[in-house]
């Protein structure tokens, strides 16, 4: 059974595409996340980096980190602060702009 995950994509007034994830990212749903991120990058990365909003994600595994690495040149991240240590250890924060979610 897949871990619960909800994804939505919006475009801000400045043209930035925002992909929001709610739930957990793991092996059971990584393909859906990867497809959504690829679609968002295809849709919007020409103008601005795609904003990947993981502020409502409490867990992500190495598969999700790999997907983010695969799109490193086209995205930036806003994340739940609980994810920052694992993103730093993975080296993702060295190649992608990562900021903690506001008010967290």
The secondary structure element, H or E, covering residue 41 is helix 30-44
**Exposure class string for 52-64: b at 16+ Cβ within 10 A, else e:** bbbbebeebeebb
How confident is the chain (104 residues) per 10-residue block, as mean pLDDT? 89 93 96 96 83 96 97 96 96 96 77
3-state secondary structure of 30: helix
pLDDT value at residue 44: 76
pLDDT tens, position by position, 6-30: 999 999 998 899 999 999 999 999 9
Give the chain's domains with CATH numbers: 5-100 (3.30.750.24)
pLDDT value at residue 87: 97
């Amino acid at each position: 059974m897949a871990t619960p995950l909800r994804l939505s994509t919006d475009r801000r007034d400045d043209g930035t595409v925002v992909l929001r994830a709610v739930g957990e990212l793991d092996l059971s749903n990584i393909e859906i996340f990867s497809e959504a991120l690829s679609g968002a990058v295809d849709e919007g990365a020409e103008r601005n980096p795609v904003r990947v909003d993981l502020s409502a994600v409490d867990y992500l595994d190495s598969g999700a980190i790999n997907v983010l690495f695969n799109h490193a040149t086209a995205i930036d991240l806003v994340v739940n602060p609980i994810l920052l240590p694992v993103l730093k250890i993975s080296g993702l924060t060295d190649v992608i702009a990562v900021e903690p979610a506001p008010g967290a």
